[in-house]
Amino acid sequence: MQPLPDEIATVVWDGTGAPPGGRIEFFVPPFGVGNAKATPALSGLKVIQLMSAGLNRWDEFVPEGVTLCNASGVHASTTAELAVAGVLSLLRELPYFADQQRAARWSQKQAGTLHQRRVLIIGAGAIGTRAKVALEALGGDVTMLARTRRPGVYVLADLPELLPTMRVVILCVPETPSTLGLVDAAFLAALPDDSIVVNIARGSIVVTDDLINELNTGRIRALLDVFDDEPLPAGHPLWTTPNVLLTPHVASLCEGWQERAFSFLRDQVVRYVTGQPLANVVAGPR
């Protein structure tokens, strides 16, 4: 990895406690943590650069005159990988066969297939697009949905029409007022039997109690990588709920992620100091 240019001075702050003194123009919160409410106290702040694709509500605390950027694309491939792996694992009954292996039982079972199965990806950004390519390569019939209607892409208002025809739903949307609690009892009830829900977005997109109720019926299955409470508390009902595969928010936690993130960050800092347009601007001045 190339280091930052020598003329750029850096200060390390973990995002907790009192902010550092002096003029801080370009702030990079630690991945997954940080104190958004403290950013107005940073003197001279011009840019907040997140190292995640999701905003994690940072956009609510962007001071006036400050640009907020995310790291869309940095984790796209690895996050899409987990979504596809979850779908295939559940379709091909890998949790069932793992249980049979532990019990030393030779127990064959007919599994599902992705071939010609209708898949709805809610979120048409970098992650959703990567997942679409992989799923279609394996024969999936993929429909995309996003906030803005465009050719080949539906919007949230179309969900009542779409959900009854979908056998897999993958959530990779940001947390916004329109997506909070999107997957509720009515959403889940609209899905056909033997459907799969994959959440690699944010836990708040799903009403957890409603999902647990559906999982307990055996009508649907799910892969969850994100949760309302993280780490998921001991004793939480999801630990013992059937028909769900849980991963502890690890979609982007893959080998090489630090190198990819730092390479993007270095390019972004160089853009800033040389007066070039920043990439992935999501709020504030452009």
CA angle 173, 243, 120 (to 5 degrees): 30
- Pick the closest to residue 269 from 12, 2, 35 (CA basis): 2
Percent of the chain with pLDDT strictly greater than 70: 95
Residue 14 resides in a domain: no
Higher local confidence (pLDDT), 34 or 103 = 103
Are 68 and 80 part of one and the same domain? Answer: no
Are 213 and 91 part of one and the same domain? Answer: yes
Residue 136 resides in a domain: yes
- Is the pLDDT at 33 greater than 60? The verdict is no
Domain of 186: which CATH number? 3.40.50.720
In the chain, how many domains are there?
2
First and final C-alpha spacing in the chain? 28
Residue 7 resides in a domain: no
Confidence at residue 19, expressed as pLDDT on a 0 to 100 scale: 78
Residue 176 structure tokens: 């916004």
Confidence at residue 16, expressed as pLDDT on a 0 to 100 scale: 74
Residue 17 resides in a domain: no
Are 152 and 264 part of one and the same domain? Answer: no
CA distance 24 to 66: 12
The set of catalytic residues is 202, 249
Q: What is the tens place of the pLDDT at every residue in 174-220? A: 888 999 999 999 999 999 999 999 999 999 999 999 999 999 999 99
Q: List the strands of the sheet with 195-199, edge to edge.
A: 153-154, 141-145, 118-122, 168-171, 195-199, 220-224, 244-246
Residue 264 structure tokens: 């993007």
Are 53 and 193 part of one and the same domain? Answer: no
Residues recorded for the chain: 286
Residue whose entry in the numeric block shows the structure tokens 């465009």? 150
Are 50 and 158 part of one and the same domain? Answer: no
Residue 188 resides in a domain: yes
Are 96 and 164 part of one and the same domain? Answer: yes
Residue 15 resides in a domain: no
Task: Annotate 52-65 with b (16+ C-beta within 10 A) or e (fewer).
Answer: bbbbbebbeebeee
- Cβ neighbors of 192 (< 8 A, separation 6 or more) are 164, 165, 166, 167
- Is the pLDDT at 286 greater than 60? The verdict is no
Contact yes or no for 92/115 (Cβ under 8 A): no
**pTM, full prediction:** 0.87
- Pick the closest to residue 188 from 210, 168, 203, 171 (CA basis): 210
Are 180 and 232 part of one and the same domain? Answer: yes
Are 240 and 155 part of one and the same domain? Answer: yes
User: What is the average pLDDT score of the chain?
Assistant: 92
Residue 110 resides in a domain: yes
Domain span including residue 44: 26-74+254-283
The alpha carbon of residue 152 and the mean position of all alpha carbons in its chain are separated, in whole angstroms, by 22
Are 51 and 164 part of one and the same domain? Answer: no
Confidence at residue 37, expressed as pLDDT on a 0 to 100 scale: 63
Are 170 and 61 part of one and the same domain? Answer: no
Which CA distances in Å does 241 have to 49, 72, 220, 223, 230?
38, 32, 12, 12, 17
Q: What is the tens place of the pLDDT at every residue in 54-70? A: 777 787 778 888 999 99
Contact yes or no for 168/87 (Cβ under 8 A): yes
Give the three-state DSSP class for 184: coil
Residue 102 resides in a domain: yes
- Is the pLDDT at 32 greater than 70? The verdict is no
Q: What is the tens place of the pLDDT at every residue in 38-94? A: 676 788 899 999 988 777 778 777 888 899 999 888 989 999 999 999 999 999 999
Phi, psi of 188, rounded to the nearest 5 degrees: -65, -40
Confidence of residue 36 (pLDDT cuts 50, 70, 90): low
Mean pLDDT of 154-179: 96
Residue 226 structure tokens: 């994100």
Are 70 and 84 part of one and the same domain? Answer: no
Are 44 and 84 part of one and the same domain? Answer: no
